[in-house]
Amino acid sequence: MFSFGTIFCVLCERQVAKNQSRRVAGRKDLAVCTSCHARWQQLGSQCQRCKTRVVDERDVGVFLDRYALGHLDCGAGGLEPGRNGRSWVDAAAG
């Protein structure tokens, strides 16, 4: 019913609203939703690969092979900017 304007979140594996998510760079069909990102932050923003905290928001990426978040430097793929070309906060507020 709400298929228009939704996109697949690779973390919760559900269709989520595009304006509640950030698209995986270079992928039209995949995204990470703001609630998954918020939950990940609550759990300590841990990089799935090196198991240390991702301190800088700009370093956050997604491992498409394991559906988890982590450092861009650890091989995670980039995320497109949220609404207004800004942060997760802006995406959620939209």
Contact positions vs Zn ion (CB under 5 A): 9, 11-12, 33, 36, 47, 49-50, 70-71, 74
Within 10 A of 56 (CB to CB), how many other CB atoms are there? 10
Sign of CA dihedral 62, 16, 94, 43: negative
Closest approach of Zn ion to the CB of residue 84, in Å: 20
Residue closer to Zn ion by CB (options 50, 64) is 50
Residue closer to Zn ion by CB (options 55, 93) is 55
Residue closer to Zn ion by CB (options 39, 86) is 39
Dist. CA 91–CA 52, nearest whole Å: 25
Residue closer to Zn ion by CB (options 8, 81) is 8
Dist. CA 61–CA 32, nearest whole Å: 10
Bridge partners of 71? Answer: 60
Mode of pairing for the β-strands spanning 14-17 and 60-63: unpaired
Closest approach of Zn ion to the CB of residue 80, in Å: 15
Closest approach of Zn ion to the CB of residue 45, in Å: 10
